[in-house]
Amino acid sequence: MSLLRNFATVGGATAASRVLGFMRDVMIAGFIGTGPVADAFFVAFRLPNLFRRLFAEGAFNSAFVPLFARSLEEDGRDGARRFAEEVLAALFWLLVGLTALAEIAMPALVWVLAPGFTDDAEKFDLAVLLSRITFPYLLCMSLIALTGGILNTFNRYTASALAPVLLNIVMIAVLSMIAVLGLDASHASGMVLAGGVALAGVVQLASLAYALKRFGFPIRLRRPRYTFGVKRLWKLGLPGAVAGGITQINIAVGTIIASTQAGAVSYLYYADRVYQLPLGIVGIAIGVVLLPDLSRLLRSGNARAALATQNRALEFGLALTLPAAIALIVIPHPIIDVLFQRGAFTPEDVSATTSALAAYGLGLPAFVLIKVFSPAFFAREDTTTPMWFAGAGMVINVGGALLLAPILAHVGIALAGSLAGWVNAALLIFMLWRRDQFVPDAALKKRLPLLFLASVLMGAVVFVGWLPLSGIFATGTLAMRFASLAGLVVAGMVTFALFVQLTGASDLMGYLKAALNRRRARKG
């Protein structure tokens, strides 16, 4: 049950971050809408995040955690601290150099990520300026990935899980200042938002450094040296960066293609934010918790327990993801309507974003499966195989987007990303099964079909409920629309919970009783 408890810790913190993130995005939608300032800011915000996922979080999730776990087991805390400091030195100075080069070459980077902006010189120049302001965020977040990986290896997930909450708190404060100053959708509002991103990175890094010091494992910046540990990290991290950052690569490709269509970058951004809520709560929680757990179990030679842990992670992930995916597919309109339709975000924007959200919903389970099965490779220090599979998915994404965008506009880009996710997930599952590193147990074989049926039934209930309420979403007040959406969500949750409990797809009552008993035991 410690696995589920850790999932709950990370998932709960991620949920809090995503709720605040929605508040942030609702404010952005209301103040700057989907116009040129919004497009420029979203590209500027995406650029450091793309590099972060490719060269920092992806590499560390796949390479640093297993190597740090091995160093901790073989060399103790002192040896692990020495390894962490060697990595810190190499990472810090590499990122300083990368940031300096990026600041100089920013026009070229923006052109690569959003070539369609060149048709509007003013929007292109604004995107370059905002990207120069936001790019130092990469340095902070990469160091956060390092400190968070250390804490997670020691089974301390709270501090790193709460770090994204600080980002959204800072951004909400900055947006509130924009509202007070009355900047609206001006270039000045874009500059203030970009500055808020950079400030948030500093605040997040300071919080993680404090948590590491409080835990009693502070690390200091050394002179960089190309040691054996750094060499091994580089060897594993390079393919791991590609494999771990495949989602961001696909999003970047979509941004490049979408930049040729007015408003398409913003439509995909807002749809992605909604779809990232369940993916973040479930997928990120699984990825963060599963990798150190599998690394510890495999290092100790307990392969049977590692398989059981993987099966339970798969069951847990799909139990939460399948109903969310069905909901995004069958009722995307009321979700986008309630969250974003106000101020500069028009009904036409709702319609365009709704279609993209449904397309993303088709790929949601695939991306959670990737989060479940990738750690099985990374924990065995195999980052090359996922890299090749990620590459295959990227080819599907690029080809699909180029073929579908002229026909379906931005919706084709979202569909191509979902298809790429399914190809990547299928390849991971097949290879693990072939290596006998994924063996479904009896409980998993019984529960997965029932979970799928429960999700479909829930989808039918919310869709039938949506039909008589569609008029409210067309003409009703925000309060009426919000209440209607809340009713649909509650009806879906109740339907799903009843079905899985009655069929035995999941013993919800058993989990609740066990949790209550543990709490009583701690109090006693």
Q: Which of 264, 219, 223 is nearest to 114 (CA)?
A: 264
Q: Which of 279, 265, 162, 147 is nearest to 214 (CA)?
A: 147
For residue 10 the two structure tokens come to 């990370």
Main-chain dihedrals φ then ψ at residue 387, nearest 5 degrees = -65, -45
**pLDDT tens string 101-132:** 999 999 998 888 788 787 888 888 888 999 99
Q: Which of 397, 263, 278 is nearest to 328 (CA)?
A: 278
Where do the domains of the chain lie? 2-440, 443-524
Percentage of the residues of the chain whose pLDDT score is greater than 90: 18
Q: How far apart are CA 480 and CA 485, in angstroms?
A: 9
Q: How far apart are CA 385 and CA 382, in angstroms?
A: 6
Q: Please state the pTM of the whole predicted model.
A: 0.72
User: For residue 463, what pLDDT band results from cuts at 50, 70 and 90?
Assistant: very high
Please compute the mean of the pLDDT values over residues 80-109 and round it to a whole number.
90
**pLDDT tens string 276-299:** 878 877 777 777 778 778 887 887
Give me the residue label for tokens 């947006």.
175
Main-chain dihedrals φ then ψ at residue 422, nearest 5 degrees = -65, -40
Q: How far apart are CA 72 and CA 418, in angstroms?
A: 38
Q: 3 exposed, middle or buried (CB, 10 Å; 0-12, 13-18, 19+)? A: middle
Residue 513's pLDDT is what? 57
Which residues are within 8 A (CB) of 286 and not within 5 positions of it... i.e. 6 or more apart? 7, 313, 316, 317, 368, 371, 372
- Residue 327 contacts residue 492 (beta carbons within 8 Å): yes
Give the distance between the most distant pair of CA atoms in the chain. Answer: 69
Residue 235's pLDDT is what? 76
- Residue 93 contacts residue 10 (beta carbons within 8 Å): no
The alpha carbon of residue 255 and the mean position of all alpha carbons in its chain are separated, in whole angstroms, by: 17
Please report, in angstroms and rounded to a whole number, the separation of the first and last CA atoms in the chain: 20
Q: Which of 436, 488, 438, 434 is nearest to 466 (CA)?
A: 488
For residue 149 the two structure tokens come to 């990986």
**Which bin fits 262, alpha (ψ -120 to 50), beta or left (φ > 0)?**
beta
- Residue 484 contacts residue 472 (beta carbons within 8 Å): yes
User: For residue 53, what pLDDT band results from cuts at 50, 70 and 90?
Assistant: low
- pLDDT of 1 higher than 50: no
**pLDDT tens string 209-254:** 999 888 888 888 888 888 887 888 777 767 766 665 565 666 667 7
User: For residue 139, what pLDDT band results from cuts at 50, 70 and 90?
Assistant: confident
Residue 56's pLDDT is what? 54
Residue 438's pLDDT is what? 92
Q: How far apart are CA 259 and CA 64, in angstroms?
A: 35
